[in-house]
Amino acid sequence: MVEEEGFRRYVAHIILWIGIAVVAFPVYIAFVASTQDNALIANGQMSLLPGGHFFETYYQTIFVGTSGSTREPVGNMMLNSLVMALLIAVGKIAISIISAYAIVYFRFPFRMPIFWIIFITLMLPVEVRIYPTYKIVADLHMLDSYAGLALPLIASATATLLFRQFFMTVPDELLEASRIDGAGPLRFFWDTLLPLSRTNMAALFVILFILGWNQYLWPLLITTRDDMQTIQIGIRKMITTTDALTEWPIVMATAVLAMLPPVFVVVVMQKLFVRGLVETEK
């Protein structure tokens, strides 16, 4: 990094602080709103300082839910979101590391065509294939289930490509040394390739967990039961009320809660994440 002198350095810092404020202020407002009385918010008299309803609002949000719209405790929604995000992240990593292993290390008929077919699926995200995917999931009776939430999102060309690139940088001699040491394909994968991919897997996990957590369209389509809805859907449903006042403190508390797990994952795995992106241990 270039060291700047005096004035220019202050300018740079001021710009950075403005950036932080722009990003953080709405989050702060959401938090403040979640601690205020609903009537105050509805009247437009909300203070910019936290109110005194923190514990009761969050207790109600997590264990009871709104009194009007969904009546589903947010704790359960978070569990659904968590299960879905974990299934997607772990499933994607598991599937893609295995397919990348096959593509890089095995010579089988139509290896390259298969690789290109996987590559082409990059152009077919859920939004594009939503009708056929919905039909398949419905026919398999997987609506309103974790499998239905996660499975259609698990196949991942991006992760396969990433692992493929990584495997291609692993020296061939390592495979050869393993062969001479009497390790078969499974042993080599398990004893050598997986430990070497650890940082890559961690980096991918962070990205994929957030991706899974933030899914909106797909869960919206296939969950109909309240007890299967994810937190993202829950927020949406809480806001739409027909004849009652929207319970803004609870909506805001839900929004704050929805932010926490991704933040937690990033904070915990940040070190591994950065290492996975910049460093290779070979």
Partner 1 sequence: MANVTLRNVRKTYPGGFEAIKGVNVDVGDGQFCVLVGPSGCGKSTLLRMVAGLETVTGGEIDIGGKVVNQVEPADRDIAMVFQNYALYPHMSVFNNMAYGLRNRGMKEAEIKSRVDEAARVLELTPMLERKPRQLSGGQRQRVAMGRAIVRQPKVFLFDEPLSNLDAKLRIAMRVEIRKLQRRLNTTSIYVTHDQLEAMTLADILVVMNGGQVEQVGNPLAIYEKPATTFVASFIGAPPMNLMATRPEEIRSQLAGSSAADAGILGIRPEDFVITDQAPDGGVALPLTVEAIERVGAETFVYGSREQEQQRIAANPGELPPGEIIVRIPGTEAPAIGAKIRVAAVRSKLHLFSADGRTRLEA
Structure tokens at 168: 């291609």
Q: What are φ and ψ of residue 72, in 5° steps? A: -110, 130
Binding flag, residue 173, partner 1 (CB under 8 A): yes
Q: How many residues bind partner 1 (CB under 8 A)?
A: 18
Tell me whether residue 198 or residue 225 sits nearer to partner 1 (CB atom).
Answer: 198
- Say whether residue 177 binds partner 1 (CB under 8 A): yes
Per CB under 8 A, 109 contacts partner 1: no
CA gyration radius for the chain?
A: 24
Q: How far does Cα 266 stand from its chain's mean position?
A: 10
CA distance 248 to 217: 23
Long-range contacts of 192-196 (CB under 8 A, 24+ apart): 193/101, 193/167, 194/97, 196/170, 196/281, 196/282
Given candidates 45, 176, 225, 263, which one binds partner 1 under the rule CB under 8 A?
176
Angle at 247 between CA 35 and CA 143, to 5 degrees: 115
Q: Report, in Å, the least distance between residue 176 CB and partner 1.
A: 5
Q: Which amino acid is at 249?
A: P
* Contact mark string toward partner 1, 142..171, x via CB under 8 A: -----------------------------x
> Under the criterion CB under 8 A, does residue 227 sit at the interface with partner 1?
no
* Nearest to 99, CA basis, from 111, 90, 88, 89: 111
The least CB distance from residue 193 to partner 1, in Å, is 10
Least distance to partner 1 from the beta carbon of 128, Å? 40
Per-residue binding letters, 263-282, with partner 1 (x by CB under 8 A) = ------------------xx
Please identify, using beta-carbon distances, which residue of 183 and 256 lies nearer to partner 1: 183
**CB of 152 within 8 A of CB of 134?**
no
195 part of the interface to partner 1, by CB under 8 A: yes
| Residue 174 interacts with partner 1 (CB under 8 A): yes or no | yes
User: Does residue 196 touch partner 1 according to CB under 8 A?
Assistant: yes
What's the distance, CA 32 to chain centroid? 25
Per CB under 8 A, residues contacting partner 1 are 171, 173-174, 176-177, 179-183, 187, 191-192, 195-196, 198, 281-282
